[in-house]
Chains A and B, each alone.
Chain A
Amino acid sequence: MTVAEETGVVVAPRAERPRRTRFWTERRSNVAIAVLLFVALPLLTEHAMPKLLEQHHYFNLDVGVAMAVAAISLNLLLGYTGQISLGHAGLLAAGAFASGIMTSRWHASMVFGLLFAMVVGAAVAFVLGLPALRLSGLYLGIVTVIFGLAMQSSLLRSSFLSGGSAGVPMFRRVWGSTMTTDNAVFLVVSLLLLLGVWLVDVNVVGTRLGRAFRAIRENEAVAQAFGIPVTRYKLLAFTISGAMAGLAGAMYGHTIGYVNNEKPFDSTMSLMLVIIVMVAGAGRRLAVVFAALLFWLFPSFIESLHQWSYVVGGFLLMATVRTHPDGIADLLHHRRKPPPAPDAADSDGDDELPALPQLPAPARPIEPLLSAAADAPLLEVSDVTVSFGGLNAVDHVSLAVPTGSVVGLIGPNGAGKSTLFNAISGLVPIGQGRISLRGKEIQGLRCDQRASLGIARSFQHVGLARDLSVRENFLLAQHQLAPYSDVEALLMLPRAARAEAEFRARADEAIAALGFEAMADMPVRNLSGGQQRIVEIACLLVTAPELVLLDEPSAGMAPAAAENLATRLRDLRDALGRTVLLIEHNVPLVLDTCDYVYVLDAGKLIAEGAPAEIAANRAVIDAYFGAAV
C-alpha cells in the first residue's frame, strides 16, 4: 500500500514537498553555534588582540559567562523539568564557598576547586530536590525561597564554613603558588566551561533524560505510564542543575576574588535568574544564554542602568508572561515561519482520495513472545477492590487474561473499568486482592516499575505529552528500551548515540506509516483530538509491550481508523503474541476482535464469555447494550 506517500491529513502548504534529509538538524546547529561562539570569542582575548578591551571589561564578561552557566542550570530545572527554584543563588553560593575553601584554605588548584564546587552544588541540590518530590508549584517555590534565605542568613554565616561575615577569598590558583590574575585568561577558561555545560545540556535534550524531564513537567501520570520513574528523574534534574549551578557560583567567585554571605549570592540574584529564564523563553538554551549575558553586561557597562535593572526586569517579566508566555525566543521562532499562503494552499488536488491513516505495524525489532506458554494467564486479577471514600469503584473483581489474546472489558460509564485499569497499571492503590503478571504479584510495585515489566496503557483522555512534538512522543514511548546509563547520555557516548539514532529511525517509520510527516515536529496539542488518539495508539504499537491496556482507543477515531485499529490489534496478537486488554464502547470492534469479554457494572463483574454469548446475554443487554444490539 502506498499510504506513506499520501498525506491523509490537513497539511501545511509546504509540507507536501519530498522530504529531504536535513543536514542542519537541531542538534547539529546547536553544536555549530556553540563551537563558533567558543572558538571566536577567545580570539578576542588580550593575547590574540592586545588592548582590545580593558581589564574591567573582561571582568564584566567573566561575570556574564558565569551567569550564563547559572541560567543554563536553572533552565534545565525550570524550563525542561518544570520545577521552580527561587533560591538558585543558594546553590551558586554553595559552589563558590566550596571552591573558595579548596583554593584558599587547602591550597589546592582551581581545577579541583571547580570540581569540588560541582560536587557540593549537586549534593546540596539533591537535598533541595527532596521536598520537590511531594510539592509543586507555589509550595515548591516557597521552599526554595526559604532555602535561599537560609543559605544566606545562617549556613554561610557560620565561621566554620565561611569564616563568618569575613567571607572566603577565592584564589585563581593554577598550581602551588602560581596564580592567574588576568581576567582575559580567565575569560578563556570560563568560555570553555560554558562550552562544556552547553554540550552537556545539548546531550540532556537529545536523550531520554531531557524527554523524561519534559514529560514530568507536563503530566506525571503520563510520564509514569511511559515507564519513567518520576522520583528518580526529578532528583536527577536537581542534581545536574545543582552541579552546573555550583560551577557557575565558583566561576563567579573566582572572578570577583572574594565571597561572603551577603555578596553576591543574594535573593535578588535568584529572582533575576528566574526572570531571565522566563523572559528569554523557558526551555530555550540559546535565548537563555544570551539573555543572561545581556542582563549582566548592559547594566555593568552603563552604570546608570544598574539601579533600574530590577524594575526593567520585573516589567519585562510581566509583559512577557502576559503576551508571550513561552518567552521572546518563541516569538522570534514564530516570526521565522512563512505566513499562511491563502492560494497556494487552496489549490492542491481536491479530487484525490484522502489517505486513510494507517497505524504503524507493530514494531519489528522486538522478538515475538509466542514461545511463552500460550494458555497460562499473563495477567491475573484476583478479588481486587478499589474504594474511594467508602464507595467501591471496583468491587471484588477477578479476571484472567491469557497470553496472546485480546480480552474485552465493557460496561456502562462509571462501571469502574478505567479504575480497574488504573489499579492494574499502578496509578491507584488497591484496597484488597492480588494482581499478578506471569504469576508474579505486582500490586506493590510503582507504576513505572510495572511499565518496565511490560505493561503499557493508553488513557481515556489521550495520554501523550502534549507540548512535545509527535516525534518526541514516539521517542518518549521508547524510554524503556534505552540501553544506556545517565552518564553515557550526558556525555553522548557511542552506545547512547547509537540507541538514539535507532529510536529516531523507528519514530520516523511510524510517522511515515501514519502519513503524519507534515505534523511530525508540531506539538501534539496542535493535532485534532482524533489524530492525538491515533498517535497515542501508534506509540504503543511501536514498542509492542507484552501487555497492552487500551482505554477506549477508538473514541474520536474516524470509522476508517477504527477499522485499522482492529487489524492492528489482531497483528499484535497473531504476529507477535502480545496480549491486549481492551475497554471499548464500539460494539462492532469488540465483537470483531476480542477472544473473550468481561462485563463490569457498578464495580462488579456481571458476565463473562465469548463475544457472541455476551451479545446475547440478557443482563448485559439491559445494563449496557440497550437497543444497540
Chain B
Amino acid sequence: MTTPALLSVTGLRAGFGAQTILHGVDLDVPEGKVVGIFGLNGAGKSVLLKVLAGVVPTWSGSVWLDGADITGLSPEKRVQRGMAHVPQGRQVFGSMSVEQNLRVGAWALRRRDKSRYDERLAQVYDTFPRLAERRRQPAVTLSGGEQAMLAVGRALISDPKIVLIDEPSAGLAPAVVEDLLSVLLAVRSFGLTMLLVEQNIRFGLRLSDSACLLQRGRVVYSGETSSLDQEKLGTYLGVGRLLADDLSKGLGGKPVAKKRARARAG
C-alpha cells in the first residue's frame, strides 16, 4: 500500500459472550475509495461495521482512523473524529421530522463548528432534493427509499471522513435501488470514503472500488472489484443461477453454478 489508508484495521477480534464472530480481521480503506464487504449470512459483516462504529466492543486488534488510534473510543467520540454509520434497517427516528433527523446527525458538527450546519444542510438537500421537499414530514411517513436517503443524508451532514453503510438497498424496490445507487455514485465522485456492506451483489460491485470477502469472521479475499470473477463470487458467495445472468452483464466470466458444485465435491 503506497498511500497510508484512511481507515486501517489490524487483527480485529470481537464477538458476543462466548461466541467469537470476528477472528482477526485486517482491512485498509484508502482515502477516497469505496470498499465493499461481502459474505454469507453470519460471516460477520454487520458486526464488523458495528465494531468499527464502536457500538460493539473490540476484544483485540486495533482500529486507526486518519493516523489516530480510535480502538477504545465510544461511538460518539468516533463520530466527532469523522466516522459516520448508516445502520442496518436505516433506523431513522420515525416520530421526528426529516429536518430534525438531520439535525441529530449534525450533532457532532455543531459542537465543532456551529456556522457550518446551514451550509451542510443545504448540501444534503442539494444531493437529496426529495428530503428538502419533505423536510417537515415525520420520518415514519417517508417511503422506504426516502428513509434510506434520509439515513445516508443524516450520516453525510456531519461532514465525515468515512461513512460505514450497512445494506442500504435492503427492502427497496428495484427502481428505488437504482435511484439510491446513482445518488451514492454521485457522492462517491465527490471523493467520499465509504465502507459498504451489501447483499445485493450487483449494487455492491457497481459502487465499490475494491472488495473484501468475509467468511466466518476472516477475510478470505481482498482486491480490486474489477479482478473479482464469477468463479470467486460463486465460490465464496454462492452466486448461482439466479444472479449469474444478471451479473454477467457487468462482469466477464462463465456461469458459476457448476464451479461451485465442483469446488464442493473436491
Contact = CB atoms under 8 A, between A and B. Distances in A.
A626 B243 CA distance: 18
A356 B234 CA distance: 11
A413 B20 contact: no
Contact of B18 (A339, A534, A587): A339
Interface string B47-72: 10000000000011000000000000
Contacts of A271: none
Contact of B40 (A345, A346, A412, A558): A558
A585 B41 contact: no
A529 B143 CA distance: 21
Contacts of A146: none
A11 interface: yes
B224 interface: no
B242 A589 contact: yes
A592 B41 contact: no
B199 A10 contact: no
A56 B178 CA distance: 79
B238 A10 contact: no
A522 B40 CA distance: 19
Nearest to B218: A350
Interface residues of B, number: 58
Max chain B Cβ within 10 angstroms of own Cβ: one of A334, A460, A588: A588
A357 interface: yes
Given A354-B236, A460-B171, A626-B174, A522 B46 contact: no
Contacts, number: 166
Contacts of A10: 19-21, 42-44, 216-217
Contact of B16 (A356, A413, A526): A526
A306 interface: no
A334 B18 CA distance: 9
A627 B13 CA distance: 41
Interface in A399-433: 410-414
A569 to B, nearest CB: 12
Interface string A598-629: 00000000000000000000000001111111
A338 interface: yes
Interface string A119-137: 0000000000000000000
Contacts of A105: none
A342 B177 CA distance: 40
A42 B107 CA distance: 65
B243 A531 contact: no
Contacts of A413: 143-145, 171-173, 176
B23 interface: yes
A557 interface: yes
B24 interface: yes
A297 to B, nearest CB: 33
Nearest to A530: B41
A334 B23 CA distance: 21
B201 A13 contact: no
B160 to A, nearest CB: 23
Nearest to A561: B41
A526 B174 contact: no
A42 B264 CA distance: 62
B177 A555 contact: no
Contacts of A528: 41-42, 44-47
Interface residues of A, number: 58
B146 to A, nearest CB: 8
Given A12-B18, A530-B199, A563 B241 contact: yes
A591 B13 CA distance: 41
A623 B174 CA distance: 10
Interface string B228-249: 0000010111111111011000
B39 interface: yes
A412 B241 contact: no
A353 interface: yes
B40 A563 contact: no
A628 B177 CA distance: 9
B95 to A, nearest CB: 16
B88 interface: yes
Contacts of B170: 555-556
Contacts of B178: 626-628
B242 A345 contact: no
A556 B89 CA distance: 10
A337 interface: yes
A340 B41 contact: no
A340 B216 CA distance: 16
A9 B59 contact: no
B23 A345 contact: yes
A8 interface: yes
Contacts of A353: 235, 263-264
A526 B242 contact: no
Contacts of A559: 199, 201, 233, 237-240, 242-243
B235 A557 contact: no
A316 interface: no
Given A9-B42, A461-B89, A559-B237, A411 B20 contact: no
B242 A566 contact: yes
Contacts of A625: 174-175
B99 interface: no
Contacts of A338: 18
B246 A588 contact: yes
Contacts of A337: 17-18
A562 interface: yes
B179 interface: yes
Contact of A340 (B59, B145, B220): B59
A531 B171 contact: no
Contacts of B60: 342
B166 to A, nearest CB: 9
A461 B144 CA distance: 13
B158 interface: no
A588 B243 contact: yes
26 contacts: A9-B40, A12-B19, A13-B18, A340-B18, A342-B60, A354-B40, A354-B236, A413-B143, A413-B171, A528-B46, A528-B47, A529-B88, A552-B171, A556-B167, A557-B41, A558-B40, A558-B41, A560-B40, A561-B40, A561-B238, A563-B241, A588-B245, A625-B174, A626-B177, A628-B175, A629-B174
Interface pairs A-B: 7 shortest CB-CB:
A560-B238, A626-B175, A530-B41, A413-B144, A628-B174, A9-B42, A414-B143
Given A342-B13, A413-B173, A531-B42, 5 more contacts: A334-B17, A342-B60, A353-B263, A356-B238, A628-B178
